[in-house]
Every structure is written in structure tokens, then in C-alpha cells.
């Protein structure tokens, strides 16, 4: 089990540009070199989610090193908001943080029961400090699976959560839960699945792909097969128990997979990966919206792929996704409202350069992408990690791209010094393969719409910390000279 700890800091980039500080003013809240009675055993296999205002929720264990907890950080204070012993849970997973300063903040997560036979779905209201259980195995006749991965628990901006309660035979329901007082802590069934053996025309089966939920919470999206015992699958919307075909089609076992979606009224779009109906062995990345299907990329599925296919789409229609390619993968940016596409980064030789603000003359290229999915916010900022190669070898790096900003820039890489972590005899140097970011959904990752970014790092040969920094707006970064950007990072120097 990887153990990590919590550190937070807020960066004022403009202040850095004015040379008020030679490095970012990271504030250490807690790390593995400090004593902190509530969390001496740190965050094991942690998921860190970041919301507006630099609010953070994260998995942890209590002083026993066994009991799972969830901690919440805001305005310099760290507190425990979920305790496995008290709640009868053996673990927590699939954290999401939604809401803002005007509408309140809600933490949604799944808890694995003590017998490890089923999960519950919980919501914690930060403002009222109240915990609500929306669903549990056996509660109200529900049969919950033994685990819910992040793809099958998704929230919208209002904190309404869509999840599946599907048994081993494929039967069950797709539900929406809402713990707000206005709805009376209700569960709404959007769809009821037939068993996998049902052959009746008009029967449907949930294909266990990613779910999505509309901004209103009244509509869900998923890949369904009909009749239920076939592979005749497509992407459907669900509302009031009735599925309606939306897009995609299957070819045998090759069914369209839902990668990302937003149904906000202003943006109604779905990105899916599915078989091309006209070209054999071709997989297409397709963006579907009110104007039809838009082909964003393709690859030959007979050639082994080495990259990921993860994607994220924001509520304003900003989309980032990996496009697998046997010759070299690319990371793409797409604006749903303008239907414009830009290549962000690539592993293709000659097309894979990145910029190091700390050493503008240095030459670095991307060797491989490391993230399952990129992170993106409504400002169009994209964060991803990759292996980069330069004159000193290959390192893991955290990279940032902003619209109009040119090539990706290096935010952090192995060997960088974090000044706030420098102690005697410690040096505060990030370890090789020492950076971790959480991805999967815009409310379940560590990049907020006001540009707070959370990063889990290891340093000095195994010590752990989590970093929180506020990135500048895209227009601000574009106006800053490279010399100012160099203040973002300080490299470890060796005598030569």
C-alpha cells in the first residue's frame, strides 16, 4: 500500500512574476516528516479530489493504520468527515466533490461494507456537516455490487449522483440519488435492466460501461444492449424508466463505449469510441451532439495499441482525450461549442516537444503518456503526466497545456526541489516516478474550475506529500515572459 500525506499551498503567480519570492510559497500542512496525531499513517492508495476555493477531500487511514477515513481540507483546516468504524465500512472509494461557494459543497463517495459483500452510496454536506446514506446493499431491496468503480458513480454540478445496482445476472437498476432537503433524500430509478438471458424484443441490459448524468438529474446515459441477451448495443438516454436511442452502434462483441458526456442544456454532447460501420477493423472516436456525429479520430484495431483512451468533458463543452495510435499516441483538445480541435501533445517523433520554463534552452520530448485520462476544467486548462526524455535521461513529469499557449510546459518533474519540503537532512527532491494525479471525471479529479491543482508526490526517497497550487488563468499565462514562468519551478542542481 502506498502511503502519502497532505501538504497544501496556494500560489500567486503574479506575485512570483514580480519577483517577490524566488519560488512558490507552498504552505506545509502535514507531510510524512511531521507528527500529526490524527493521521500518522497517511493516505494509503489515496484518491484526492479538489473543488473550488482549494477545497480537498482525500482517502486516509486513522492512527491504527487500519481503519479507513476520509479527510476534508478547507481554509487551512483539516478534519475527518467519514470514519469506517463508526459507519461500518471497510473502505471508501469513488470520491467526488461538487458545488461551489454560493451553492454549498457536497462530497459523494462509495463505502464498502464491513463484510465486503456490497457497497453503500453516501453524501456528506460540508456546510451542515451532515452525512446521508442514499443506498446500501439490502437497503430498500437493493442488491449492490461489491465494488463501484469511478465510471459507475458520477455526479453533476448540483451533487446529484447516478450509480448502478446491478446483480451478477445483469438485472438491477440505474438510479439517481440526491440528499438535498428539497428532494427529501430520494432515490429515482432511471432504468431497470433485464437479465442477460432475456431474449424478449424490447428487453434491455446494462453493458456495464461508464454512466453519465444530466445537469437536471432527470436523465442518465449508458451503453445498453437490446434484446438483453444480444450484443446489439448502443448509447441510450434514460428517464422515467424508458430508454431512448441516442447514438452509436455495435458490430458483434465490439460495442460503443461511452467515454465522456455532458447534458447541461447549453451543452448536450457525448464522446464515444465504437466500431466504424463502413471500414472494417476501424475504431472511431465520435462526438455526438444536436448537429449529428463528428469524427475526431480513428485507429486500426488489428494493430496493438499502447496508449489509453480516457477522456474528460466539462460542463461548458471543453473536452480532452487520448487518441491511441500504434505509431505514437496523441492528446487532443476539442471545443464542443465551436467544433474546433487542437492537438495538445504527442509521442510521435518530431512532434513531441515540451517546454521547461526553468530551462528554456533545454530540449525535452514526451516518451509516453502515464495518465489514464487527462484532467481539464472550464478554462480549458489541461493537466496530464508523462515520461519525458532530455539530456539527463527520462523522468516522470507533470505537464500543463492552456488554449493558445503553444507546447505543453513542465510544472513538475522528478528531481525538482519543493522548497517547503527542504529540511535537515532532507533535500525536498521529488523521487523518480514520484507524482500521482487522480483522473476520471471533472468532479472526481484534482483540478478545479478556479484552477486549483492537487498532486500527490513522493520525495527524498519515499517521504510523501500532497501539493495544492492555484494555476493562473490562460490569458495570464500567455502574457507572462518565459523568465517569469521559470519562477514556477526550481531544479536540483549538481556540480559539473
Closest C-alpha among 495, 496, 487 to residue 21 = 487
In which residue are the cell numbers 466504424 written? 276
pLDDT at 325: 77
Given 3.30.70.260, 2.130.10.120, 3.40.50.300, 1.10.3720.10, which CATH number is that of 3-488? 2.130.10.120
Cβ–Cβ under 8 Å, residues 119 and 112: yes
Beta bridge partners of 58: 48, 71
pLDDT at 148: 62
User: 344 CB contacts (<8 Å, ≥6 apart)?
Assistant: 320, 330, 331, 332, 333, 374, 382, 401, 408
Please give the backbone phi and psi of residue 479, each rounded to the nearest 5 degrees, phi first.
Answer: -85, -15
pTM equals 0.87
Closest C-alpha among 126, 123, 154 to residue 136 = 123
pLDDT at 487: 42
Tell me the C-alpha to C-alpha distance, in Å, between residue 472 and each of 12, 380, 436: 8, 12, 21
Closest C-alpha among 406, 412, 483, 404 to residue 17 = 483
Would you list the domain boundaries of the chain? 3-488
* Cα–Cα distance measured from residue 355 to residue 72, given in angstroms and rounded to the nearest whole number: 34
Tell me the C-alpha to C-alpha distance, in Å, between residue 272 and each of 49, 286, 307: 25, 5, 16
Q: What is the DSSP string of 316-379?
A: TSEEEEEE--TT--EEEEEETTTTEEEEEEE-STTS-EEB-TTSTT--EEEEEE--SS-EE-TT
* pLDDT 10s digits, 42-94: 334 468 899 999 998 888 777 777 888 898 988 888 888 999 999 988 888 88
Beta bridge partners of 249: none
* pLDDT 10s digits, 341-350: 999 999 988 8
Closest C-alpha among 346, 273, 352 to residue 309 = 273
Cβ–Cβ under 8 Å, residues 25 and 467: no
pLDDT at 438: 65
pLDDT in 10s for each residue of the chain, 496 residues:
222 333 333 333 332 222 112 234 455 555 665 433 333 333 344 688 999 999 988 887 777 778 888 989 888 888 889 999 999 888 888 899 987 655 688 999 988 877 777 788 999 998 889 898 888 776 666 667 655 655 578 999 888 999 888 766 767 788 898 887 566 668 888 988 888 899 999 999 887 678 899 999 999 999 999 999 998 999 999 998 889 999 999 887 788 888 899 999 889 999 999 999 889 888 899 999 999 999 999 988 887 666 667 899 999 999 999 988 777 889 999 999 999 999 999 998 888 899 888 778 888 999 988 877 899 999 999 999 899 998 778 888 889 999 988 899 988 888 888 787 787 677 888 888 766 776 667 777 889 999 999 888 788 887 777 788 888 876 555 444 444 444 444 444 333 3
Beta-sheet pairing, 68-74 with 55-61: antiparallel
pLDDT at 26: 54
Question: Across the chain, which distance is largest between two alpha carbons, in Å?
Answer: 75
pLDDT at 20: 19
Q: What is the DSSP string of 168-221?
A: TTS-EEEEEEE--GGGTSEEEEEEEEPPTT---TT--EE-----EE-TTSS-EE
pLDDT at 383: 93
What per-residue string of b and e applies to 220-241 under the rule 16 or more CB within 10 Å gives b? bbbbbbbebbeeebbbbbbbee
Closest C-alpha among 286, 292, 289, 233 to residue 259 = 286
Amino acid at each position: 500500500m502506498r502511503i502519502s500525506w497532505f501538504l497544501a499551498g496556494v500560489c500567486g503567480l503574479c506575485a512570483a512574476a514580480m519577483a517577490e519570492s524566488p519560488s512558490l510559497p507552498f504552505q506545509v500542512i502535514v507531510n510524512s516528516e511531521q507528527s500529526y496525531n490524527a493521521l500518522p499513517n497517511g493516505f494509503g492508495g489515496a484518491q484526492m479530489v479538489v473543488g473550488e476555493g482549494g477545497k480537498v477531500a482525500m482517502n486516509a487511514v486513522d492512527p491504527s493504520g487500519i481503519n479507513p477515513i476520509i479527510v476534508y481540507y478547507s481554509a487551512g483546516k483539516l478534519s475527518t468527515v467519514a470514519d469506517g468504524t463508526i459507519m461500518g465500512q471497510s473502505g471508501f472509494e469513488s470520491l467526488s466533490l461538487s458545488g461551489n461557494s454560493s451553492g454549498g459543497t457536497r462530497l459523494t463517495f462509495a463505502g464498502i461494507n464491513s463484510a465486503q459483500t456490497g457497497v453503500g452510496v453516501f453524501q456528506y454536506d460540508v456546510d451542515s456537516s451532515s452525512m446521508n446514506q442514499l443506498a446500501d446493499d439490502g437497503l430498500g431491496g437493493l442488491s449492490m455490487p461489491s465494488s463501484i468503480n469511478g465510471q459507475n458513480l458520477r455526479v453533476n454540478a448540483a451533487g446529484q449522483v447516478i450509480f448502478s445496482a446491478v446483480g451478477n445476472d445483469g438485472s438491477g437498476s440505474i438510479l439517481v440519488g440526491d440528499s438535498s432537503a428539497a428532494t427529501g433524500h430520494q432515490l429515482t430509478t432511471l432504468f431497470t435492466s433485464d437479465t442477460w438471458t432475456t431474449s424478449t424484443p424490447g428487453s434491455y441490459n446494462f453493458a456495464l460501461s461508464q454512466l453519465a448524468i444530466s445537469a437536471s438529474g432527470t436523465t442518465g446515459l449508458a451503453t445498453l444492449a437490446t434484446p438483453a441477451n444480444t450484443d446489439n448495443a448502443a448509447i441510450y438516454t434514460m428517464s422515467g424508466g424508458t430508454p431512448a436511442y441516442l447514438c452509436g452502434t455495435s458490430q458483434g462483441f465490439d460495442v460503443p463505449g461511452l467515454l465522456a458526456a455532458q447534458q447541461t442544456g447549453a451543452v448536450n454532447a457525448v464522446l464515444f469510441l465504437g466500431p466504424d460501420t463502413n471500414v472494417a477493423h476501424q475504431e472511431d472516436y465520435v462526438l455526438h451532439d444536436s448537429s449529428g456525429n463528428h469524427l475526431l479520430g480513428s485507429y486500426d484495431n488489428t494493430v496493438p495499441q499502447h496508449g489509453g483512451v480516457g477522456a474528460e468533458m466539462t460542463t461548458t463543452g471543453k473536452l480532452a482525450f487520448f487518441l491511441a495510435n500504434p505509431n505514437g499516441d496523441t492528446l487532443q483538445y476539442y471545443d464542443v461549442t465551436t467544433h474546433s480541435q487542437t492537438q495538445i501533445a504527442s509521442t510521435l517523433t518530431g512532434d513531441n516537444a515540451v517546454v521547461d520554463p526553468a530551462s528554456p534552452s533545454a530540449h525535452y520530448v514526451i516518451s509516453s503518456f502515464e495518465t489514464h485520462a487527462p484532467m481539464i476544467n472550464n478554462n480549458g486548462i489541461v493537466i496530464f503526466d508523462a515520461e519525458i526524455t532530455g539530456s539527463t535521461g527520462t523522468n516522470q513529469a507533470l505537464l500543463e497545456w492552456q488554449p493558445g499557449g503553444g507546447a505543453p510546459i513542465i510544472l513538475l518533474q522528478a528531481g525538482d526541489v519543493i522548497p517547503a519540503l527542504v529540511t535537515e537532512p532532507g533535500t525536498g527532491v521529488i523521487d523518480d516516478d514520484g507524482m500521482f494525479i487522480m483522473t476520471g471525471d471533472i468532479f472526481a479529479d484534482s483540478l478545479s474550475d478556479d484552477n486549483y491543482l492537487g498532486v500527490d508526490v513522493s520525495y527524498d526517497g519515499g517521504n510523501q506529500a500532497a501539493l495544492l497550487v492555484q494555476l493562473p488563468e490562460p490569458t495570464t499565462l500567455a502574457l507572462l515572459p518565459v523568465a517569469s514562468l521559470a519562477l514556477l519551478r526550481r531544479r536540483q542542481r549538481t556540480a559539473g
